[in-house]
Amino acid sequence: MSGQATRIEPLLRAAADMTWDQAIAMEEYAEPMCFTTRAHRDAVEALVGPISS
């Protein structure tokens, strides 16, 4: 196994084992670095409530 794959495996395993709430929180953390739209923010807020910054 390559060194990179060895480093990535724990990250992938942790992501696969996340609860729904943890996955939503991680998505909200990463979203501004990836993409964002008003409709998406509104939909997430409707699901989980307002997210304070």
The span from the CA of 12 to the CA of 7, in Å, is 10
Token couple for 46: 């409707």
Q: Identify the pLDDT of residue 44.
A: 80
Confidence of residue 17 (pLDDT cuts 50, 70, 90): very high
pLDDT number for residue 30: 75
**pLDDT tens for each residue of 21-50:** 988 888 877 766 666 788 877 888 888 887
What predicted TM-score, i.e. pTM, was given to this entire model? 0.40
Domain assignments of the chain as residue spans, ordered by start:
19-53
Cα–Cα distance, 37 to 11 (Å, whole number): 27
